[in-house]
Amino acid sequence: MDADSGKEIWSVVVDPHPLIRLTGSPALYQNRLYVPTSSYEEVGKSPTYACCTFRGAIVALDTATGNVAWRSFMVGEPVLMGKRADGGESWGPSGGAIWSAPTIDTKRRLIYVYKTLMDTPEAREIGMGDVSEARMSAAAATIAESFELPVVPKFTDVFNRSFLPPKAERMQPVLAN
CATH code of domain 1-116? 2.40.128
Beta bridge partner(s), residue 154: none
pTM of the entire predicted model: 0.63
Q: Report the distance separating Cα 119 and Cα 122, nearest Å.
A: 8
Which pLDDT score is estimated for 43?
62
Which pLDDT score is estimated for 10?
94
Pinpoint the residues of the chain covered by CATH 2.40.128. Answer: 1-116
Which pLDDT score is estimated for 59?
97
Per-residue pLDDT of the chain (177 residues; tens, 9 = 90+): 888 899 999 999 999 998 888 888 999 999 999 999 988 776 656 777 888 889 999 999 999 999 999 999 988 888 998 888 788 888 888 888 888 889 999 988 889 887 655 556 777 788 777 888 998 899 889 988 988 999 999 999 888 888 777 888 777 655 433
Contact present, 145 and 137 (Cβ < 8 Å) = no
Three-state SS string across 158-170, please? HCCHHHCCCHHHH
Which pLDDT score is estimated for 89?
85
Which pLDDT score is estimated for 15?
93
